[in-house]
Amino acid sequence: MEPEQRALSVVLPVEPSRLPELAAALAAMGVTVADASRVFGDVPGLHFARLVMIPSGDDGRAWLALETNFDGPLDLHLDALASRVAPRARAVFACCSGFSFDDPRGSLLAGRLPERAFYLGHQGLTVETILNDRAVKRALSELLDDEISQDPSLLREGVDPRPVMQRVLGRLRRERPELELGEVPRPMHDAASFHARLWAIALFVVVLVLSGQALHPWGGAIVVAALLAPIVALAIAVLRAERGDREEIRDRPIRAYTRDELARLGTIGLIEDGSPQNALTHLVTPKPGRLRAGLLRFVLWGVDQLGKYVYRHGSLGAIPTIHFARWIILDDGRLLFFSNYDGSWESYLGDFVDKANEGLTGVWSNTREFPPTTLLAFDGARQEERFKVWTRRNQLVTQVWYSAYPDLSVRNVHAAARLRELSVPTHRRATAREWLALL
Amino acid sequence: MNRGELQAIVASGFGGRGAARYVFVRARTGSRPGDVRAELATRVLPHVVSVESEKPPAFAQLAFGPGGLRALGLDDDELDTFPREFVQGMAHPERARVNGDRVDEWHLGVHGLDVLVAVFAGDDDAAAALEADMLDGAAHLERACEPLVASRLPGQREHFGFRDGISQPAIEGVHADPRGPERPVPTGEFVMGHENVYGQLPAAPSLSRERGAGLPDSRVSPGRVDLGDDGTYLVLRKLEQDVFAWRAWLREASRPLAGHVVDPEAYLGAKVVGRWKSGAPLVTCPHRDEPDHALDNAFDYDLDLSGLACPRGAHIRRTNPRGALPPSPPRSRAAVETRRLLRRGRPYGPPAGEAPDGVERGLVFVCLCANLSRQFEFVQQTWVEGIKFDGGWSEDDPLVGARRDGADRFTIPREPVRYAPRGLPRFVTARGGGYFFLPGMSALRWLLDERRR
């Protein structure tokens, strides 16, 4: 089974001469989530969205990027974007070369790019469910407050939790009958099939080695050597590449922003950290050469698999604050990163440094001016100040950003889903206790 | 580590000295940088003590905001080698956004603070005398505003009545005998020019070689000399405390607990702070104050992840979560170690009596850290003001939070029914402050050298 949540990434070409016009059109849409709601607010099943200007790269090409995270079939989503978003963001799309307002759907589809890695922090929970669960949590908390104010003896330690739960839940059912309670279908990526594939690969290798051995006394060893040779060759190439990386940034002071970068950071600083959630848009150029391009795609594929099949319960590695994130490779090779996360930039980047540095180093070590690495997966992001400065220097302004539930953290979403699941009559004391603890 | 290079406040809050004056100084209009340097060098520098110095009855510490460095003759490019947050200053809209400040409520440092002369002495008469000695009759320096006069309250308490300043990291190489079983924090967390918790040298302000002749070569900015060595950043905030609002709220909000706990007001206060009034932490003394445990600091939250003993949002748990945060206690402790602050604050204003008196009182919050954004601003933004802290829904620090965006609830987990009073008033209001660079002694002498350009 697959989750119903999907990603759409669209980049539409913009003539560099029209970038100022595009910037003005985006700015005119406003910078707050409330502003963006006027454009995206009635797109059904939309979790997060953004519109970002991608400045010209080395070959002069520039784009407008659209990110959406949505529930349900792509077709319906495209229809909604075409009929609702395109007309409202007319001035923005009008800057894009070849965008046709007669066929907005086709124009959007023509600019679609695949997500090289896509992560979602609440697999299987639709916007509808998330909003329902939020309402359940709020209503239950208020009802419990009300019960306590009428009868403070509920606060006595050791009271039986079951009648309390029964009373509060009963009131919820009577007063808010429209709210959905109990389990709802929650399709998720199938971890078992992923494990099965891993086992199949392992089995294939064993069979290969054994059949080699059956054919010749040294056959097994030869097969193993043949399998290892490319890995060794790759490791040697990686080590040589890494030496070059160190040269690239040897003389760069830790803190070295250009005036342009400082101006951009000033703009970002007044948009960021406004709500409990934040958006990060980050654009870097990969290091030259086929080796690095290939490594980059391989590592992204690995991150994608981990996000889908291993980190399925709201924490990417040890980072419990990401709603949706993706990496895209633009047609000119540049690597674009979108993240919709909880909390401050400093706390998010701190988590990168303290808790997820290997994975991120693995991806970004293949891009320009990244802090020095070891084996392309270690050190890099662990160089705390260098890494943060590097991230800031490559961060873009997220001009238009939408969230359907800007007041919820990933942990809130999961806690509310659990609360809703448990909101059915029970005779178990432990369940009633857990339920009350969630309020 | 040459401790004679550190200004003394890095190692100590001078607890034995009863009085402190925070004097805000600026250059007089039209004074030239050379004259300002000369006057600071002759009037103030002789009173600035290092960790190693013999401490006279009254002495000073000296730090500079960006305006102060400009007044000494540093140019914009040189200032840009300082962190952005320092150059912007605490009152800048971006910093105010990060720190949750409403600058329209401030009356200190709205337009920046240039020079901080902090005077310490046994009593305020001695402190005032040294202040007058340094500044009265100066030709190029003037006081920017009234000095902040701070003191000590009996029993090392703050105005709400709680013992303060118990948890304090020890610094490698600075504190010979680290207090408690806590591992000392790497020097570079609090002093530039030394390795920090990541085993790296902090980014530091620097100068070109010809300009900074005599200063050591920078190890982080190739081809330049270092101005940051043995220096750090000092954060000062004037935090007004509304003792009467606090007492009234305790009385009101503790009513539903009557009959369920021994002393509802003391219980509620302790749940908000995370320690009882004596200082005894809730984790080791969950049921009553035990003054024998007043200085306990070797505790963790790893056996209290649900917050039944110490609420997850309690003030001392937010400001130092130890092992409380995901994904696991050891990883939480490692991450928390990168966010430590050295606190050097003191109360100001008279102790509160029984009845409201209209007198302002509070805390001159002072802390030191080598990285303003990673340490001070993070703690303020993500832990104190962060309404989603550790799984929360809409709660800020119940003691010192600014109650932004309707965050006015505080959840006290209890078994089985939690108590979560709403409508928390603001007990603490920031009235101003600033970021300062506290140079090492050599850098300080260079900055005040009247002969240089």
Q: How would you write B300-337 as a 3-class SS string?
A: CCCCCCCCCCCCCCCHHHHHCCCCCCCCCHHHHHHHHH
3-state secondary structure at position A391: helix
Residue whose C-alpha is closest to residue B121's, from B64, B44, B55: B55
3-state secondary structure at position B361: coil
Q: Compute the distance between CA of residue B409 and CA of residue B394 in angstroms, rounded to an integer.
A: 7
Residues 6+ apart with CB under 8 A from B441: B4, B5, B6, B7, B48, B50, B230
Question: Are residues A414 and A272 part of one domain?
Answer: no
- The answer to whether residue A274 neighbours chain B at the CB level (below 8 Å) is yes
Inter-chain contact A346–B382, Cβ cutoff 8 Å? yes
What's the mean pLDDT in A288-301? 91
Q: Pick the range with the lowest mean pLDDT from A200-204, A411-415, B255-259, B343-347.
A: A200-204
- The residue type at A422: L
What residues in A contact B196, CB-CB < 8 Å? 384
Q: Which helix (H) or strand (E) holds A76?
A: helix A74-80
Residue A45 lies in a domain: no
- The answer to whether residue A28 neighbours chain B at the CB level (below 8 Å) is no
Nearest CA in chain A to B202: A385
- The pLDDT of residue B244: 97
Residue A14 lies in a domain: no
Domain count of chain A? 2
- The pLDDT of residue A135: 98
Residue A100 lies in a domain: no
Residue A19 lies in a domain: no
Task: Check if the beta carbon of residue B170 is closer than 8 Å to that of residue A356.
Answer: no
Gap from A12 CA to chain B (nearest CA, Å): 32
Neighbours of A309 (CB within 10 A): 18
3-state secondary structure at position B339: helix
Q: Which member of A152, A346, A432 has the closest CB to residue B378?
A: A346
- The answer to whether residue A353 neighbours chain B at the CB level (below 8 Å) is yes
Go through chain B and tell me how many residues it has: 453
Selected residues 74-113 of chain B with any CB under 8 Å from a CB in chain A: 80-81, 83-84, 93-94, 97-98
- The pLDDT of residue B17: 93
- The answer to whether residue A226 neighbours chain B at the CB level (below 8 Å) is no
Question: Are residues A247 and A389 part of one domain?
Answer: yes
- For chain A, helix (H) and strand (E) counts, in that order, are 17, 9
- The pLDDT of residue A329: 97
Q: Compute the distance between CA of residue A327 and CA of residue B326 in angstroms, rounded to an integer.
A: 25
Inter-chain contact A253–B221, Cβ cutoff 8 Å? yes
> ipTM higher than 0.85?
yes
Question: Are residues A353 and A207 part of one domain?
Answer: yes
What burial class does residue B308 get, using C-beta atoms within 10 Å of its C-beta: 0-12 exposed, 13-18 middle, 19+ buried? middle
Q: Compute the distance between CA of residue A391 and CA of residue A384 in angstroms, rounded to an integer.
A: 11
According to DSSP, the β-strands at B19-27 and B428-438 are unpaired
Mutate to test the interface with B, among A265, A348, A354 (most CBs of B within 10 A): A354
User: Is residue A344's pLDDT more than 80?
Assistant: yes
Q: Compute the distance between CA of residue B18 and CA of residue A375 in angstroms, rounded to an integer.
A: 56
Neighbours of A303 (CB within 10 A): 23
Residue whose C-alpha is closest to residue B421's, from B242, B262, B269, B276: B269
Q: Compute the distance between CA of residue B127 and CA of residue B17 in angstroms, rounded to an integer.
A: 10
Q: Alpha helix locations (H) across B107-186? A: 124-135
- The answer to whether residue B415 neighbours chain A at the CB level (below 8 Å) is yes
Question: Are residues A294 and A156 part of one domain?
Answer: no
Long-range contacts of B319-326 (CB under 8 A, 24+ apart): B319/B379, B319/B383, B319/B384, B319/B397, B320/B167, B321/B383, B321/B390, B324/B390, B325/B390, B326/A315, B326/A318, B326/A320
Question: Are residues A180 and A139 part of one domain?
Answer: yes
What's phi and psi for A79, nearest 5 deg?
-60, -45
Measured at the CA of A59, the angle between CA A55 and CA A60, to 5 degrees, comes to 40
Question: Are residues A174 and A245 part of one domain?
Answer: no
3-state secondary structure at position A434: helix
- The answer to whether residue B388 neighbours chain A at the CB level (below 8 Å) is yes
Per-residue pLDDT tens digits for A121-131: 999 999 999 99
Q: Compute the distance between CA of residue B42 and CA of residue A280 in angstroms, rounded to an integer.
A: 50
3-state secondary structure at position A236: helix
Q: Compute the distance between CA of residue A439 and CA of residue A144 in angstroms, rounded to an integer.
A: 8
- The pLDDT of residue A380: 84
Residue whose C-alpha is closest to residue A71's, from A91, A51, A49, A45: A45
Q: What is the mean pLDDT of chain A?
A: 92
Q: Compute the distance between CA of residue B244 and CA of residue A243 in angstroms, rounded to an integer.
A: 64
What residues in B contact A250, CB-CB < 8 Å? 222
What's the mean pLDDT in A175-199? 90
- The answer to whether residue A433 neighbours chain B at the CB level (below 8 Å) is yes
- The answer to whether residue B338 neighbours chain A at the CB level (below 8 Å) is yes
* CA dist list (Å): A423 to A20, A416, B16, B414: 53, 10, 58, 20
Question: Are residues A352 and A386 part of one domain?
Answer: yes
Question: Are residues A310 and A290 part of one domain?
Answer: yes
Q: Alpha helix locations (H) across A249-371? A: 259-269, 290-305, 345-355, 357-364
Q: Which member of A251, A255, A412 has the closest CB to residue B393?
A: A412
Question: With a cut of 50, which residues of chain B have pLDDT below it?
Answer: none
- The answer to whether residue A434 neighbours chain B at the CB level (below 8 Å) is no
Inter-chain contact A344–B83, Cβ cutoff 8 Å? no
According to the 3-state scheme, what is the secondary structure of A33-47? HHHHHHHHCCCCCEE
Q: Compute the distance between CA of residue A373 and CA of residue A381 in angstroms, rounded to an integer.
A: 8
Only one residue has tokens 């220096």, namely B231
- The pLDDT of residue B180: 57
What is the DSSP code (8-state) at residue B73? T
Task: Check if the beta carbon of residue B114 is closer than 8 Å to that of residue B64.
Answer: yes
- The answer to whether residue B208 neighbours chain A at the CB level (below 8 Å) is no
Bond into B416 cis (ω within 30) = yes
Question: Are residues A291 and A157 part of one domain?
Answer: no
Q: Compute the distance between CA of residue B68 and CA of residue A62 in angstroms, rounded to an integer.
A: 43
* CA dist list (Å): B14 to A219, B4, B215, B346: 76, 17, 29, 10
Residue A77 lies in a domain: no
Question: Are residues A155 and A289 part of one domain?
Answer: no
Nearest CA in chain B to A316: B327
Inter-chain contact A152–B257, Cβ cutoff 8 Å? yes
* CA dist list (Å): A314 to B214, B325, B380: 54, 15, 26
Residue A105 lies in a domain: no
Report the predicted TM-score, pTM, of the whole model to 2 decimal places: 0.96
Q: Which residue range forms the structural domain that includes residue A424?
A: 127-185+409-429
According to DSSP, the β-strands at B115-121 and B19-27 are antiparallel
Stronger pLDDT, A193 or B102, i.e. the higher one? B102
Stronger pLDDT, B123 or A355, i.e. the higher one? B123
B105 HSE (CA, 13 A, CB side): 13
Task: Check if the beta carbon of residue A101 is closer than 8 Å to that of residue A67.
Answer: no
Question: Are residues A247 and A139 part of one domain?
Answer: no
Residue A201 lies in a domain: yes
Question: Are residues A299 and A176 part of one domain?
Answer: no
What does the buried/exposed string (b/e) look like for A270-297 if buried means 16 or more CB atoms within 10 Å of the residue's CB?
A: ebbbebbbbbbbbbbbbbeeeebeebbb
B77 HSE (CA, 13 A, CB side): 3
Residue whose C-alpha is closest to residue A182's, from A414, A416, A412, A424: A424
Residue whose C-alpha is closest to residue A285's, from A53, A59, A18: A59
Task: Check if the beta carbon of residue B309 is closer than 8 Å to that of residue B316.
Answer: no
A248 alpha carbon, distance to own chain's centre: 30
Residue A72 lies in a domain: no
